[in-house]
Structure 1
């Protein structure tokens, strides 16, 4: 199964060695992009070659059900979310 962009061409995203931020207005489809990426990475998460770190400022309302798929999850506490971002920018977990 593969994804297609608006132009009909295959859509891909570089994962290795990057950080990915998904942002958009309400109803823009952020959740579909996020959960498709998580599903596509399932095998790599299970064999511990990929870690997914997630931040949910809504206290887990958006991402809480997927906590088991995330190596790190922070939701709702500003200091904890900032610490996760700082850890990621410092190269922890790579």
Structure 2
């Protein structure tokens, strides 16, 4: 069974990634705005943290919008997308 977005945020917090209240709001706002699936949202959070070294709400929203436009539908596609865009090595 995979984690929900909320469980994933809690998991990351347990690993030492701090999320302010507004960051959590941004995560769910972006999810609704782009109508993205939970796997894509979790991948966008992961990519944002790896690329920015912190949670950057505007980067995250822009990433979700770009992935929606590219019709990214799962984590593997999201990682490939991020590598193509040179956001990840």
TM-score (norm 2): 0.27
Looking at CA atoms only, which structure, 1 or 2, has the larger radius of gyration?
Answer: 1
Query: When you count helix as a share of all residues, which structure comes out higher?
Result: 2
Higher relative contact order (CA 8 A, sep 6+): 2
Query: When you count strand as a share of all residues, which structure comes out higher?
Result: 1
TM-score (norm 1): 0.26
